[in-house]
Amino acid sequence: MNILDRFAVTDQVAVVTGAGRGIGAATAVAFAQAGADVLISARTASQLEQVADQIRATGRRALVVPANLSDLDAVAGLARAAYDEFGRLDTVVNNVGGTIPNAFLDTDSAYLEEAFHFNVTTAHALSLAAVPLMLGSAEDGQKSIVNISSMMGRASGRGYLAYGTAKAALAHWGRLAAADLAPRIRVNGIFVGSVMTSALEFVAGVPEMMEQMETKTPLRRVGEAEDIAAAALYLASRAGQYVTGKMLEVDGGIQEPNLDLHLPDVTA
């Protein structure tokens, strides 16, 4: 087998959440380019249709499912929808998530629980629904769950308590799930650094902020969505078939936040 063939996912089926733009969209298109049919889901149908056009342009099939992915029944239903449409399910990419930074005293319990729900519980709900469908076919280790976490799940910085805690929980959920599901299903994730998606659009228009982010990143640039998509494809394909329970750090080399939120010290 040519080494490049190990990155192919020909005739496989993937579910990608948060796929209307950014990392999710890039990942869905990457899987299609590598040979997979893809179910894509997010809130906004018009964005999903644009991504579906890119998938179909590769010659692969796309299933568009607009949904509120904080709704556990909706997110769990994506697994069955993919299986019913395509006849199999090979990979789940848990990409939906995110939480706005907040000062400690403004992070109440409800805010923390919301962050956990959106970043962790939704991933569990989809994976729980997907696993029985994934177990029905294929050899051991060729089914895969990929979680999109954040470098804030392994680092510390002011303002990221809710987001970082949730992303750390998602990473460890993956390690534990990998032990539970081995050897049939591999579970891995990605600690994502600063990637130029809609979440960073406010930075792109401020040269001083962009310079700070680039300067504080060892590779001296902000990441691209395709950087993460390539890592997800590696983890899901035969190229990553001897990897489970691991987190890839795709972050330009940063070890701490590369954007200062200028949150003041807590005072009495």
Catalytic residues: 163
**H or E stretch at 78:** helix 72-86
Neighbours of 81 (CB within 10 A): 17
Four-residue CA torsion sign, 139, 133, 244, 196:
positive
What are the Cα distances from residue 97, in Å, to 25, 89, 220? 14, 22, 26
DSSP string, 18-46: STTSHHHHHHHHHHHHTT-EEEEEES-HH
Which tokens is 234 given?
Answer: 């590696």
Residues 6+ apart with CB under 8 A from 125: 72, 75, 76
Q: How far apart are CA 160 and CA 8, in angstroms?
A: 36
Which tokens is 73 given?
Answer: 């029944």
Q: How far apart are CA 61 and CA 108, in angstroms?
A: 43
CB 143 within 8 A of CB 134: yes
Q: How many residues would you count in the chain?
A: 268
CB 232 within 8 A of CB 27: yes
Identify the three-state secondary structure at position 79.
Answer: helix
